[in-house]
Amino acid sequence: RLQGAFWVALGLAIFYASWTMDRLASLGVKPFSAPGLLPGVLGAFIVLLGVAMLLRGRFEKAETIEWRRILLPLALCLGFAGGMVGRGVPFWLAAWIFIAVMIWVLQYRERKLEGKLSRLAAISVSIGLAGSVAISLIFQELFLIRLP
């Protein structure tokens, strides 16, 4: 419940900050490319997921925290943002690698026990490719943001 409350508060702060940003309408900026749009949408989703965590916490008993499932994705995110993006690797390729590796890492234990590692590899690579293409197109064509 405490983590859910944290995410709700963070999401609300992000949403508020994006709402108060200058919309640049006086410069003729399109609404879909306004600076605060994407952070606002992300803040709203963070709030929704935080509320879901709060509701889930009401109905389930507390389980032990599996730190590996928290710290490993955090390390991968930091490696993606600090080690790949803007360092010569095209964004679409960095995103593809990141998404595929994240799926692989988070599903590895379960799929190994089931004997489905080759299927996991195919799914990871496929979803990674689809996700990287979709993200690149959305940011470049819809939000008009030039990616590194």
pTM: 0.64
Contacts of 129 (CB under 8 A, 6+ apart): 96, 100
The confidence score (pLDDT) of residue 30 equals 67
- Residue carrying structure tokens 């999401």: 11
pLDDT tens sequence for the chain (148 residues): 778 888 899 999 999 988 887 766 666 666 666 677 778 889 999 999 999 988 887 777 666 767 777 788 889 989 888 888 878 888 899 999 999 999 999 999 899 999 999 999 999 999 999 999 999 998 888 877 788 7
* 89: three-class secondary structure by DSSP: strand
Q: Output the six-digit token pair for 52.
A: 């879901």
The confidence score (pLDDT) of residue 26 equals 64
